[in-house]
Amino acid sequence: MLTLEYTPTKDDQSSRTVKGQGRTRLSPFFSQYKSNSFMVHGNSYVTIWDDGRDVTEQYGTWRRWRLWTLPEVGLNPSGHPDWDWNDDNLSKIPNWRDTPGFQSEAGPDKWGTQRTLLEFVIAIEGHPEAGTIYFFVVTSVKPGQYRVEMSAGKDIPFAKYKELVKSKQPWAQASGCPIKVDSLWLTARWLPAEELVPK
């Protein structure tokens, strides 16, 4: 029987993702590309188990996500999502490691105050009977600083995703998922372009 396990982590996963390639990792939650692309991100991976055996590499990824702008406190925005449920794996390349977050062309010293909620539902492509996992990530920035909060995952039946598609508010608070990884507030230290070395 196939089962999914979601793991948020403080360990930088960007070197194992497509969007992390060519970037200079300045902390486990912050990277830079050239002088005009800054990314604050979480880190997570999903493992597929088949009766205790890790079979992750044998399966494709089904991923959906939506995005909200949050007030300064809490998980309940006013208004509609900035980005409603969409396919987060259009390439169809298996994508079990992720670095979801906030990207900006402005340097950290020019950041405004902003909190963003990213909700995710992940499943095994072609195997709805295995269920799905729901989780969320909150990225917060202010001038020169950033913070990443990642929830635990929650196993839900595939039918629950169909309910979430119709919802007009995030499910983050009602889901009961606790925050499992919190970077706390960190200072964004970045480099001039000539000092950038991908690593």
Residue range 161-190: mean pLDDT, rounded: 95
On whether the CB atoms of residues 175 and 153 are closer than 8 A, the answer is: no
Q: What is the pLDDT of residue 17?
A: 85
Domain layout of the chain by residue ranges: 2-190
* Contact criterion met (CB below 8 Å) for 26 and 170: no
For residues 72-80, give the mean pLDDT.
Answer: 89
pLDDT in tens, 90-149: 888 888 999 999 999 999 999 999 999 999 999 999 999 999 999 999 999 999 999 999
Has residue 79 got a pLDDT over 90? no
Rounded CA separation 25/198 (Å): 7
The pLDDT value recorded for residue 199 is 61
Q: Mean pLDDT score of the chain, rounded to an integer? A: 92
Q: What phi and psi values does residue 130 have, to the nearest 5 degrees? A: -80, -5
